[in-house]
Amino acid sequence: MRKQIAAANWKMNLTYQEGEKLLDDIFDAGTSLAPHQHAIFAVPYPYLIMTRSEVAEEFNYHVAAQNCHHKKSGAYTGEVSVDMLQSIGVHYCIVGHSERREYNAETNAMLADKVNLCQENGITPIFCCGEPLDIREAGTQNEFVAAQLRESLFHLPAARIKGIIIAYEPIWAIGTGRTASTAQAQEMHHFLRSVIADHYGKDIADEIPILYGGSVKANNAEELFSSPDVDGGLVGGASLVAADFTAIISALK
């Protein structure tokens, strides 16, 4: 079975003390993971070392950065490089979240550079793709997300594309309370896998986890994750509540 992943994206929330308590509460719940199941905490930069320490003794729990810079090093005040992340033992990084694309004008070409740097440093990119509401309403969402994959990922050789986690996030369903129906999520995930299969072959496409990232909640996770091409979720607000995120972890296939 493909890896099944519950990834928490804390975004710009929680103090250090609140984050520490949240992790303690999640681990105190004693939710165990099967070998193919993983939980990842994408936390703000100041909490990376603390979170790495918290997950160190937990089976298949990991820490991720929420972003990295697209250059290896240099005069980029306030930015964080992939080398820096690697040096403190971070092995996952979100790349191309819709908020970064919108607020920081991140392009598909820039994200290709981030993917390259991550992989060169042994960091697994969690690559986000997805369409805004106007694209969905126009019915051109397939072409839109296919272009995101092609322009940011399809330069990779087959051996390296297998090291990517994809998160499909319909932008119109992030933080809005709206959620793509299970059928809509499965339809898009199946399409994404078919795009990968057309370029790399079905065997490789079937190995790549594709997470759903639009308002995943404790009360809809099991239904969403039951879809054959939905391999877990990239979770925002619900990951800030221990009981909700442990329920989401428990909903993994």
| CATH number of the domain that residue 14 is part of | 3.20.20.70
pLDDT exceeds 90 at position 214: no
Q: Is position 97 annotated as part of the catalytic site?
A: yes
Residue-number span of the structural domain to which 19 is assigned: 4-250
pLDDT exceeds 80 at position 179: no
pLDDT exceeds 90 at position 83: yes
pLDDT exceeds 90 at position 120: yes
pLDDT exceeds 90 at position 221: yes
Phi first, then psi, for residue 110 (nearest 5°) are -65, -40
Given 62, 69, 70, 97, which residue is catalytic?
97
Q: Is position 137 annotated as part of the catalytic site?
A: no
pLDDT exceeds 80 at position 66: yes
Q: Could you give the 3-state DSSP secondary structure of residue 49?
A: helix
Average pLDDT over residues 114-132: 97
> What is residue 145's predicted lDDT score, i.e. its pLDDT?
98
Expressed in percent and rounded to 5, the helix, strand and coil fractions of the chain are 45, 15, 40
What's the rounded Cα separation, in Å, for the pair 198 and 192? 10
pTM of structure: 0.96
Number of domains in the chain: 1
Average pLDDT over residues 20-47: 97
What's the rounded Cα separation, in Å, for the pair 98 and 136? 15
Question: Which helix (H) or strand (E) covers residue 187, if one does?
Answer: helix 182-200
For all residues of the chain together, what is the average pLDDT? 96
Q: Is 196 exposed, middle or buried (0-12, 13-18, 19+ CB in 10 A)?
A: buried
